[in-house]
Amino acid sequence: MKFTYFPKSIRQLSRHLFAIAIAVLLSINIWVLPSQAESVLIAQTSASPAPIASRSFVTAAVNRVGSAVVRIDTERTISRNLPEPFMEDPFFRRFFGDSLPKNLPPEQLRGLGSGFIIDKSGLVLTNAHVVDKADKVTVRLKDGRKFEGKVQGADEVTDLAVVKINAGSDLPVAPLGSSSNVQVGDWAIAVGNPLGFDNTVTLGIVSTLKRPSAQVGISSKRLEFIQTDAAINPGNSGGPLLNELGEVIGINTAIRADATGIGFAIPIDKAKQITSELQRNGKVAHPFIGIGMDDLTPEEARRINANPNSPVKVPEVKGILVGRVIPNSPAANAGIRVGDVIVAVDGKSISTGEELLIIVENSGVGENLQLKVQRGNRTQQISLRTAELKDFS
C-alpha cells in the first residue's frame, strides 16, 4: 500500500480549516437554540390564559338576590307645642305679650331602612319599625329607580310590614327559603343599607336559633330570632338574611347596643305566615290571656318565702309565677290570682314564660286553654278563653 505524503504547511492549513468549521457549526447551534426558546415563549404567551378560579358562593348568592333588595326612606312631620308653664309664665308674658307663639315650627323626621321585593306585583317586605308612623315612604331600587310606597299593613308585635309599590311587572324578586331547615353553623349573609351605605354585604354564621325576644331585650315582641354574627347595623333593618344558596332565611331586625357581632333576624317562615295576614287584613290578630309573669324554680320560691315582706307565699315548684293579673282580661275572668304558679297548659308541662307565650300565640284568638295551676298546696285546673291583644294594649 502506498501512502501519499503532504507537506507540513498543507497539514497545518487543514487543521485550521477544520477548527474553523467546528466553530461555525457551534455558532449555528448557539443561534438556533435561543430562537427555539423564543418560539416556545411566544407560543405560551399567545395561548389562552389559564381559567380564573370560580367566584365565591357569597358572590353567587348576592348576585341572585341583590337586585331585589331595596332602600326605604321615610319622612314624618311632627307638630310641637310650647309647654304650658311657658305659656303661663309672667316673665315670658312681659316680653312677648299676646304674641307669644303657642306652637313651635313643625319638625321633619327622616328614617332609613331596608327591604326586599317578594312579588313581581311590587310587594316589599320590611320591618314595622322602619315605616312606623311615616307620612311618606320612598322605595329605591338598586338600579336607581325610585317609587312611592304605600304601607299595606304592619304588625308591631312581630315587627313586620308590607309595602306596595306600583312599578309594573318588571321587578326582581328575592327567592324565599325555609328557616325550618337552618342549622347552627350555617352560613349567614346580610344584605342591606347600613348607616346609609347602600348595597352592603356582610358574612357570618348562624350563631343560634329560637332566641326569645325577651332575652334580646324587646319583651314587647313575640318572636324567636335567628341569631347571627354577620354585621348588622342601623339601616340594615328589614333587609334579608341569606343562606349560601342566596335564599332568604330571615329578616334582619335588631342589634344589641352593648354587644359586637350579635344580630337578630325574624325567621322567614314566621314572616311568610304574617305577610299573608297583612295582605288580607292589613293587621294581625294576636291572642292574649292577661298576666305578668316570672320564671320560678323551687330555689327562687324558697327565697321569696323567706322574705318577711313578701305579700304571698309561693308554691315551691318549677313553673311560671303570676305576678300581675290585668283587670277584665281572660285570666282575671277565669279566676287566676297573683301568686299562682302555672305548671302546664293543655297537658304540656312548661317552666318558662317564653314557652307559655309560644303556646298562647299559636292558639289563636278565642281559643280555650286548659291551665294547670299550683295555688298554695292545691292543684287546680282552670279553663280560659283567649282574647285579642289589641283590646288591652
The catalytic site residues sit at: 129, 159, 237
139 contacts: CB under 8 Å, gap ≥ 6? 70, 71, 72, 115, 124, 146, 147, 148, 149, 163, 165
DSSP 3-state of 328: coil
293 contacts: CB under 8 Å, gap ≥ 6? 320, 321, 322, 323, 342, 353, 356
Instruction: Single out the residue of 274, 207, 201, 263 nearest to residue 232, CA to CA.
Output: 263
What residues does 107 pair with on adjacent strands?
A: 78
* List of long-range contacts for 182-185, beta carbons under 8 Å, 24+ apart: 182/206, 182/209, 182/226, 182/243, 182/249, 182/267, 183/209, 184/208, 184/209
- Evaluate whether 215 touches 84 at the Cβ level (below 8 Å): no
Measure the CA–CA gap between 168 and 245, rounded to whole angstroms: 28
DSSP 3-state of 93: helix
Per-residue CA distances from 138 to 66, 130, 235, 365 (Å): 18, 12, 14, 35
Cα 320 → chain centroid: 30
Q: Which three cell numbers stand for residue 350?
A: 312548661
Measure the CA–CA gap between 360 and 222, rounded to whole angstroms: 10
DSSP 3-state of 333: helix
User: 335: how many CB neighbours lie within 10 A of its CB?
Assistant: 14
**Cα 168-246-72 angle, rounded to 5 deg:** 45
Per-residue CA distances from 151 to 69, 135, 239, 252 (Å): 17, 10, 16, 19
